[in-house]
Structure 1
Amino acid sequence: MYLILLAFHSLVRWFVLASLLFAVYRACRGLFGKKSYTNTDEKTRIVTATIAHIQLVLGLWLYFISPVVNYFLHNFKSAVHERQIRFFGMEHITVMLTAIVLITIGSAKAKQKATSHEKFKTMAIWFIIALLLILSSIPWSFSPLISRPLFRAF
């Protein structure tokens, strides 16, 4: 079960990244192009937040069944000094939870705004900050700090 969930979590990250990039593109396009906020923009905002929340549920589920996290929680004093263990036990979840909260707040605030300009500006700011946080905490295969494969097999 753990390996299947891990592979699925790894796959869904690409949907999170793609939807966030598209939402940021739509927000910046609308903001700088002085466009009207359309149904496509609204659906993009909703889909982006939904995919991020699906990833959050998968990530939390994975966190609570992970042997790495289990080791971290039960051997905190020594595990906190091990880079890879600390990353998954503390750093990854903290930054990703923060990013999901930012996406949620940004989505809710954008929904409440009255004008297209305000909606696009709100989405752009909150989603860009969340995207940067997510990019900083994905265990990229090329990272010198923590490395995992870009795609995991099921």
Structure 2
Amino acid sequence: MYQFLLAAHSLIRWFVLISIFCMLLKVYHGWIWKKTFTKFDEILSIVVLRITHIQFLLGLSLYFISPIVRYFLNNFKEAVHIRQIRFFGMEHITVMLIAISLITIGTEKSKLKKTDIEKFKTLSIWYSIALFLILTSIPWQFSPLTSRPYYRPF
């Protein structure tokens, strides 16, 4: 179960990144060129929201069954001083929770805006901050915090 969830979480990360990136291209274009906020834009924001929520649920499931997190929680005083253990036990989940909250808030706030430009602007700002946080908290192969493969096979 753990290996399957880890592989799924690794795979869906790419869908999250691609969907947020595509959404940002769309909303910045709409904001800068003063386009009309269409039904497609609304659907795309909901798709991004759903993909990120699915990823969060997978990550949360992993958090509760991960041997790394179990070690972190059972040996907190020592584990908090070990970079890789602390990253997965505390930092990764906290920053990702904040990023997903920003995406959720941004999506909901955009629905309340009256003009198309305000909708695009709202999504642009909230999604940009969320993407920045996500990119800084993914355990990339080149990351100084912790190193994991770009994709884990099933």
Instruction: Give TM-score, length-normalised by structure 2.
Output: 0.99
Percent identical residues: 63
Residue equivalent to 2:112: 112
Secondary structure at the residue paired with 1:139? coil
Residue equivalent to 1:6: 6
The alignment status of 1:20 with 2:20, answered yes or no, reads yes
Tell me, in whole angstroms, the C-alpha distance in 1 between the residues paired with 2:143 and 2:129. 20
Q: Could you tell me how far 1:145 is from its partner in structure 2?
A: 2.3
Which amino acid is 2:135 matched to?
A: L
Which amino acid is 2:111 matched to?
A: K
Q: Could you tell me how far 1:111 is from its partner in structure 2?
A: 1.1
Tell me, in whole angstroms, the C-alpha distance in 1 between the residues paired with 2:118 and 2:136. 27
Matches within 5 A, 1:1-154: 1-154=1-154
Q: Could you tell me how far 1:39 is from its partner in structure 2?
A: 1.5
- Equivalent pairs counted in the alignment come to 154
Structure 2 residue runs of 5 or longer lacking an equivalent are none
Tell me, in whole angstroms, the C-alpha distance in 2 between the residues paired with 1:51 and 1:127. 14
Q: CA RMSD in A?
A: 0.6
Tell me, in whole angstroms, the C-alpha distance in 2 between the residues paired with 1:22 and 1:43. 13
Secondary structure at the residue paired with 1:35? coil
Secondary structure at the residue paired with 1:9? helix
Structure 1 residue runs of 5 or longer lacking an equivalent are none
Which amino acid is 2:27 matched to?
A: A
User: How big is each residue's C-alpha offset from its partner over 1:59-114, in whole Å with a ceiling of 9 and x where there is no partner?
Assistant: 10000000000000000000000000000000000000000000000000011111
Moved more, 142-151 or 93-102: 142-151
Instruction: Give TM-score, length-normalised by structure 1.
Output: 0.99
Moved over 2 A (4+): none
Q: Could you tell me how far 1:40 is from its partner in structure 2?
A: 1.5
